[in-house]
């Protein structure tokens, strides 16, 4: 029991937008129509620890994205370092970086955090180094091959601190994880990452189109829904453009 430790707030840090095919969003759709989706990072402030959930795109990937993707939107303010600056932080002030998984739009900014503890599931870390051919384009070694960085590799659900709990949520990838944050006023929130792209995925139990194991992805979605129901919490999906319009953006916070 860590007396005095308290979760104080949750900040949404927008990291731009990209285009994505509906067939990539929904397992049972075959439409190549593209939709604009947000790229999200989140910061959890506790009384003594700063925890970042996901790091978005690598800054060096942004020019190519803007050249090749007509739906991409990325401003100077969308850079993660500028979003952190909005809440008065530099990368070195972040104690823990929780990576939902190591896809390029979640682990792209990990290199910004040489002083932080980088936290991923062991299975994700090893798969990312030797992915199946169909997943190679989602994993860039430069994003997570970081000599001298401190990794903490987990094996399943883990309470990081009182009120901040990692929930294993495989399926989209072999070692995906989500984060349950118990806020003092707003109540519990589950940051799903790509275990739940949109609210529609939770509501209608739809599996992501980009998926390593669709059956496990469905089990994880149900697990997150069950936990949300039991703790009377809310699901904050990973890439939902409609939800994103309703999100309080940093420097505002969910308290
Ligand atoms: Zn992903």
* pLDDT class of 2 with cuts at 50, 70, 90: low
**pLDDT range class, residue 52, cuts 50, 70, 90:** very high
Q: For residue 137, count CB atoms less than 10 angstroms from its CB and return exposed for 0-12, middle for 13-18, buried for 19 or more.
A: exposed
> Which option is the CATH number for 7-246: 3.60.15.10, 3.30.565.10, 3.40.50.2000, 3.40.50.300?
3.60.15.10
pLDDT digits (tens, 9 = 90+) for 111-164: 999 999 999 999 999 999 999 999 999 999 999 999 999 999 999 999 999 999
Which alpha helices (H) appear in the chain, and where do they start and end? Answer: 22-25, 62-68, 80-86, 104-107, 122-129, 141-144, 199-203, 214-230, 241-246
Taking the C-alpha atoms of residue 35 and residue 73, their distance in angstroms, rounded to an integer, is: 12
Q: For residues 116 and 76, give the distance between their C-alpha atoms in angstroms, rounded to a whole number.
A: 24
**How far does the centroid of ligand 1 lie from the alpha carbon of residue 44, in Å?**
21
- pLDDT for 248 equals 98
Distance 3 CA to ligand 1 centre (A): 36
C-alpha 34 to ligand 1 mean position (Å): 16
Ligand 1 centre and the CA of 182: distance in Å?
A: 24
Whole-number mean pLDDT of the chain?
A: 97
Domain positions in the chain are 7-246
Ligand 1 centre to CA of 176 (Å) is 9
Mean pLDDT of 88-92: 98
CA–centroid distance, residue 17 to ligand 1 (Å): 14
Looking at the chain, the whole-number percentage of residues with pLDDT higher than 90 is: 98
Residue 36 has pLDDT above 80, yes or no: yes
Confidence of residue 5 (pLDDT cuts 50, 70, 90): confident
pLDDT at 1 over 70: no
Whether the ω angle into residue 251 lies within 30 degrees of 0, i.e. cis, is: yes
pLDDT value for 89: 98
How far is the centre of ligand 1, averaged over its atoms, from the C-alpha of 147 (Å)? 23
| Statement: residue 3 has pLDDT above 70 | no
Q: pLDDT tens across 186-225, in order?
A: 999 999 999 999 999 999 999 999 999 999 999 999 999 9
Give residue 106 CA to ligand 1 midpoint distance, Å: 7
Give pLDDT, residue 188.
Answer: 98
Q: What is the pLDDT of residue 43?
A: 98
């Amino acid at each position: 029991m860590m007396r005095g430790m308290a979760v104080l707030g949750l900040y949404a840090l927008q990291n731009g937008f990209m285009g994505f095919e509906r067939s990539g969003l929904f397992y049972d759709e075959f439409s190549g129509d593209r939709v604009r989706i947000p790229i999200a990072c989140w910061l959890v402030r506790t009384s003594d620890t700063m925890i970042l959930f996901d790091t978005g795109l690598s800054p060096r990937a942004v020019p190519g994205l803007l050249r090749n993707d007509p739906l991409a939107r990325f401003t100077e303010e969308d850079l993660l370092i500028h979003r952190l600056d909005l809440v008065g932080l530099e990368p070195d002030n972040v104690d823990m970086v929780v990576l939902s998984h190591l896809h390029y739009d979640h682990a792209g900014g990990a290199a910004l955090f040489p002083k932080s503890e980088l936290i991923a599931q062991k299975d994700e870390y090893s798969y990312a180094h030797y992915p199946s051919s169909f997943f190679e384009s989602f994993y860039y070694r430069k994003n997570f091959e970081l000599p001298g960085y401190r990794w903490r590799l987990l094996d399943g659900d883990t309470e990081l601190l009182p009120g901040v709990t990692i929930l294993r949520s495989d399926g989209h990838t072999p070692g995906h994880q989500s984060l349950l944050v118990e806020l003092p006023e707003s109540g519990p929130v589950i940051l799903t990452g790509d275990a739940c792209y949109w609210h529609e995925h939770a509501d209608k139990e739809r599996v992501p189109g980009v998926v390593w194991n669709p059956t496990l992805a469905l089990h994880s979605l149900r697990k997150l829904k069950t936990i949300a129901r039991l703790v009377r919490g809310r699901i904050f999906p990973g890439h939902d453009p409609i939800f994103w319009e309703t999100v309080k953006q940093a420097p505002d916070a969910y308290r």
